[in-house]
Amino acid sequence: MRTSPSVRRRLISVAAVSAALFTAATATGAMAQETAAPQQAPTAARTEAAPGAPAERLIVGYKSGAAEAKSNKAADADAVAKGRKAGESLDFERRLGTGAALVDLGEDLSKADVADVIAEYEADPQVAYVVPDRLNKPLATPNDTEYTKQWDLFEATAGMNVPGAWDTTTGTGVTVAVIDTGYVAHSDLAANIVGGYDFISDATVANDGGGRDSNPADPGDWTAANECASGDPAYDSSWHGTHVAGTIAAATGNGKGVAGIAYGAKISPLRVLGKCGGYDSDIIDAITWASGGTVSGVPANTNVAKVINMSLGGGGACTTATQNAINAAVGRGTTVVVAAGNSNANAANYSPASCNNVISVAATDRQGNRSYYSNYGSVVDIAAPGGETNSVTTNGILSTLNSGTKGPGSESYEYYQGTSMAAPHIAGLAALMKSANTALTPAQIESAIKTNSRALPGTCSGGCGAGLADAAKTVQAVSGSGGSTGGTTFTSTSSVAIPDNGTVESPITVSGRSGNAPSALQVGVDITHTYRGDLVIDLVAPDGSAYRLKNSSSSDSADNVVTTYTVNASGEAANGTWKLRVRDTATLDTGRVNSWKLTF
């Protein structure tokens, strides 16, 4: 059926949808505010053992001036003395190559006993650190038959280091809502599918004979030539939502197919995209319902999601209506992950990539470069593998699919490329994190992903956020076994007007830090401006060195700058007065710095 002009006006166009998902040949639809975890005051000794952690031996590092740092006899005497205070029998076992002392705790110590011993060492000002002598084990490699083709999960160059996270968590207990084309049955995913909903209200778009209902099955989104807009070619069904869902939570260790990033998690498929795209209104209702909100005429959600993935989008800045739905979802504790878009353009001009309170994801290729199609810019938060199939098909992202060109056929696996494929990598990581630490807020999840990312091994013109996400390091951080969940935050909430065609500076005084600033200093800015393309933004260090955060651009016509930049400030002393310098390079448009912050 031909879509009427009125339908075409109100839909996210199929061209916009197509620009966001790429198949091996072409593609289809789709494409934070952070609160750093509070840093506790350091104790005399640093410990990486959680209170009450079971251990049989401890590794104790003494400060260089301590007698115990050089004398085995002194280290042994210290162990005996601390054991006596804790009511235990401790023995110095040997000196490690680093100079640290290995201390045996004896047998049958309870968790509380171990905590008491650790406390004695922590209280000693001559002890630099005390950590458990952990028993390591080899990480299992999934037996899924196609796993070796999933470079995006494990390759050292540009993979996301996912297997290293599986020893800690697999996502159990977390539901991820995939707001997309729905779900077509696939045996490598079925075990992890829970109830969803079909939110498509227009029967023509739905392509399943009706409007909204409780069945999110994907009947196919194929279109004939010129069906959505004059000049559009014909498209086969994409089965896009099923591909996205497989990346997040395909069954793993089942001897077939692919491995999912959070294979212990569940997927709730919410259908919003059909023929020619999908309405904003349907997407807004899906966001609301997925996160536990109430939608008129729709039954209460019994599978509330703690993570939402939206690999969809279109041109234009984020609307107030969409932003309100996202804000409410985040307020209910749901992390929202979105694709940056596939137009090789500034993501600030696309939605929902430009919305606040989301994790906006750019795509990288197998070498760690920004993929040629990926959007970029200051609103991008993080990068993840999205692949490139234009030259080598196997350099794409392999996931679950269906062979049907119109309606469903047999189940299959295919390589796709796109920021649609990058976003579910981050949604899967968010599910792993939430499973490992249920207390995490959406802001803390975003902060930890950024803080524990690594520099892109390739290049990214235009800006790809904090870097390439690292699943293992991030999960270790939020589970308390390594990494960082963020640091101390210094904030300026003094509103400062930006003069028209002029410059303003807003200061923050940092104190109580030692040494230099980090190599991944987080600079969060909240600037209101009626044409942000006029703005040049710099971070000015205490010694006057300037770090460019944003250049002016005649093509960046959206309003406001609300984002977080990452700066390598490791050459700067942390303490002192830092400044945010904002220069308006043209006349007519005005604004103000509402607030900004530094997270060390």
How far is the C-alpha of 400 from the C-alpha of 483, rounded, in Å? 32
Determine the longest span between alpha carbons in the chain, in angstroms: 87
State the catalytic residue, choosing from 18, 188, 237, 240: 240
How far is the C-alpha of 517 from the C-alpha of 577, rounded, in Å? 12
What is the C-alpha R_g of the chain? 26
Give the DSSP letter string of 231-245.
Answer: TPPPB----HHHHHH
How far is the C-alpha of 354 from the C-alpha of 454, rounded, in Å? 23
Structure tokens at 566: 């990452």
Whether 240 is catalytic: yes
* Torsion region of 462: left, alpha or beta (phi above 0 gives left; psi -120 to 50 gives alpha): left
Give 365's contacts (C-beta < 8 A, 6+ positions apart).
158, 371, 372, 385, 386, 387, 388, 395, 458
State the catalytic residue, choosing from 152, 180, 218, 221: 180
Whether 186 is catalytic: no
Give the DSSP letter string of 374-438.
Answer: --BSTT--EEEE----SS-GGGSEEEEEE--SSS--SEEEEEEBSHHHHHHHHHHHHHHHHHH-T
Q: Where are the alpha helices (DSSP H) in 332-441?
A: 419-436
Structure tokens at 176: 């991820």
How far is the C-alpha of 247 from the C-alpha of 150, rounded, in Å? 10
What CA–CA distances, in Å, run from 170 to 433, 513, 558?
9, 36, 39
State the catalytic residue, choosing from 420, 447, 492, 506: 420
By the 10 Å C-beta count (0-12 exposed, 13-18 middle, 19+ buried), 231 is classed as exposed
Distance of CA 543 to the CA centre of its chain: 33
Residues with catalytic function: 180, 240, 420
